[in-house]
Amino acid sequence: MIFLTALPMFWIMIAASRGGHWGAWMPSSISAFEGTCVAIPCRFDFPDELRPAVVHGVWYFNSPYPKNYPPVVFKSRTQVVHESFQGRSRLLGDLGLRNCTLLLSSLSPELRGKYYFRGDLGGYNQYTFSEHSVLDIINTPNIVVPLEVVAGTEVEVSCMVPDNCPELRPELSWLGHDGLGEPTVLGRLREDEGTWVQVLLLHFMPTREANGHRLGCQAAFPNTSLQFEGYASLDIKYPPVIVEMNSSVEAIEGSHVSLLCGADSNPLPLLTWMRDGTVLREAVAESLLLELDEVTPGEDGIYACLAENSYGQDNRTVGLSVMYAPWKPTVNGTVVAVEGETVSILCSTQSNPDPILTIFKEKQILATVIYESELQLELPAVTPEDDGEYWCVAENQYGQRATAFNLSVEFAPVILLESHCAAARDTVQCLCVVKSNPEPSVAFELPSRNVTVNETEREFVYSERSGLLLTSILTLRGQAQVPPRVICTTRNLYGTKSLELPFQGAHRLMWAKIGPVGAVVAFAILIAIVCYITQTRRKKNVTESPSFSAGDNPPVLFSSDFRISGAPEKYESERRLGSERRLLGLRGEHPELDLSFSHSDLGKRPTKDSYTLTEELAEYAEIRVK
């Protein structure tokens, strides 16, 4: 609010005392309400040496030159005026005192315009002053609001109306100011150019809620029906406040997510969506939507919305939780250990929510945790029984994933108790079963022969590994009369173990202990050896008899299971019939056993003479029965 001060009048008096110049003073502009009146203040001067007996004057409308025949507003000589001003204009000032103040009443819009004064001292002493006053006819009070109204900073709003009608004085009042403050009447003030205004003030502390409030001012003239109103909308500036935002959001992996941020501010804020300092989207708007298509676990986290304008800023955050099934577990830890060591295995995964983690071996649960992302398995002093395949399983309501891992326990060889030798007819078979990790080497020692046979001599030793068990079979022919001592020796990098294999009887063959697969393989090797020797003898066409030499350096392994050359057909037929009877008799005595055989039971060996094959099938049946 610019406070108005009264115009000093002494400068007019000084100017008049000087004389010698044509000049006039009047306000450049003046206003009044329609239907009221207005007094246009006016003073003029002329040279002193003229000293006229009578001073006359004329007021023109919109033109200062008489030759243009402008409308006459007032004329002191004849009182003849334009029809628009008849009964509506009169002179308030005394021309003899150089006061030319003009009063216009019953104002209407057509009287809006410029007013010029012309001094008439008689004869040629007439002068039209260039100074003029512009009259404005108004219908509303003027509400003055500061250029910037900021919330929280006290403000002064004024209502100003012209008060230039000496016959009618306005009364002012505020409209719609409830809750803003109490009005203050400042009074009637004189403006710089000599006009008058009535001023009504309102002091209040603006708030964001008052933004856009419609404030009015009323000017009423007592004892008349004249009443004028004016309004102004308050433009209150204030910093942003975020008023709309998602709460915490949960979404399943692959779904669509919308995050909304809305702010209240004046002027409009710059809205920005950010995550980890990275701007995702921004715009000048009341609200801003962030769209996330097919969300992934990598988009899980905290999202921030920042709202700012020139008056301040506000920010809020929202958490996005992406729900997903566990990832494939990872296993970090010892997977190879020496017997007796402590093993620590860590299984970890990632999921939302956290999973149930379980480690088990052979369907036996060893460790489990609920709603944890890591599981530690401790195995103190591992034993060979801890060797094997383990599973780590992670699951939540969105899915299940599993990872298999192997724990390898390394230990010195152990020869199991089922290791032994057995004799059948002229054949001795020795079984050595070793449990070890890593895989051991196995050798059979015959002290009486001063000979050692290892598994590289595949013609006599067959080895098969299953898990941690290594089964080696040694086959000796022609040993039925004097079974030899057999020592099984096994070793790996952790130690050596030896055991003299005990004999369990002449009719309990070793492969009966190790199952059908071992028996079939052993039979296949044995029959292959017999076929090889038989074919060799046929080629030489030499008659040989089974023998066993016991010289200084006798051979360790040999076979005497040869077919006798030149044997009569009758002898072969009798042997075949005898074998068939044995086989049929066993089937009749033991119907509960499956004693049906084929070449596959003997490893599909080369076909032998019919009597030999029948005899061996009978022997195999006896073994099955026993």
Each residue's pLDDT tens digit, 294-306: 999 999 999 999 9
Q: Cα(198)–Cα(152) distance, rounded to whole angstroms?
A: 29
Average pLDDT in the 181-198 region? 78
**Residue 171 pLDDT level (bands cut at 50, 70, 90):** very high
Residue 573 φ then ψ, to 5°: -65, -40
Specify the range with the lowest mean pLDDT, choosing from 10-14, 273-277, 331-335, 412-416.
10-14
**Residue 497 · residue 459 · CB < 8 Å:** no
Number of Cβ within a 10 Å radius of residue 140: 15
- In this chain, the answer to whether the domains covering 23-137 and 330-410 adopt an identical fold is yes
- pTM for the complete prediction? 0.58
Q: Cα(252)–Cα(245) distance, rounded to whole angstroms?
A: 20
Structure tokens at 384: 């060979």
The single-letter DSSP state of residue 311 is: T
Structure tokens at 381: 């002093």
Nearest to 520 by CA among 589, 464, 577: 464
Predicted pLDDT of residue 317: 95
Q: Is 444 helix (H, G, I), strand (E, B) or coil?
A: strand
Q: Cα(458)–Cα(356) distance, rounded to whole angstroms?
A: 52
Strand ranges of the sheet holding 89-91, from the earlier edge strand across to the other edge: 38-40, 102-104, 89-91
Q: Cα(174)–Cα(229) distance, rounded to whole angstroms?
A: 9
Cis geometry, peptide bond prior to residue 353 (ω within 30 degrees of 0): yes
Predicted pLDDT of residue 12: 40
- Of all residues in the chain, the percent with pLDDT exceeding 70 is 76
Specify the range with the lowest mean pLDDT, choosing from 125-134, 371-380, 408-417, 523-532.
523-532
Whose tokens are 């994933």? That residue is 401
**Residue 455 pLDDT level (bands cut at 50, 70, 90):** confident
Which superfamily, per CATH, for 140-234? Immunoglobulins (2.60.40.10)
Fold of 416-504: Immunoglobulin-like (2.60.40)
Structure tokens at 414: 């152990």
**Residue 341 pLDDT level (bands cut at 50, 70, 90):** very high
Average pLDDT in the 567-591 region? 49
Q: What is the pLDDT of residues 398-453, one digit of tens each?
A: 999 999 999 999 999 999 999 999 887 778 889 999 999 999 999 999 998 888 99
Q: Cα(333)–Cα(392) distance, rounded to whole angstroms?
A: 13
**Degrees, nearest 5: CA angle 570-573-579:** 145
Predicted pLDDT of residue 448: 87
Average pLDDT in the 365-383 region? 94
The residue extents of the domains of the chain are 23-137, 140-234, 241-319, 330-410, 416-504
**Residue 116 · residue 132 · CB < 8 Å:** yes
pLDDT over threshold 50, residue 507: no
- Of all residues in the chain, the percent with pLDDT exceeding 90 is 60
Strand partners, 408: 336
Predicted pLDDT of residue 601: 43
Whether domain 330-410 has CATH 2.60.40.10: the reply is yes
Average pLDDT in the 162-171 region? 92
Whose tokens are 């995050």? That residue is 259
3-state secondary structure 115-134: EEEEEECCCCCEEEEEEEEE
Fold of 23-137: Immunoglobulin-like (2.60.40)
Q: Cα(613)–Cα(576) distance, rounded to whole angstroms?
A: 9
Whether domain 241-319 has CATH 2.60.40.10: the reply is yes
Average confidence score pLDDT of the chain: 81
pLDDT over threshold 80, residue 610: no
Strand partners, 428: 423, 476
Residue 182 or residue 409, greater confidence: 409
Q: What is the pLDDT of residues 105-128, one digit of tens each?
A: 999 999 999 999 999 888 888 888
Predicted pLDDT of residue 556: 31
Average pLDDT in the 83-88 region? 92
pLDDT over threshold 60, residue 195: yes
Q: What is the pLDDT of residues 346-365, one digit of tens each?
A: 999 999 999 999 999 988 99
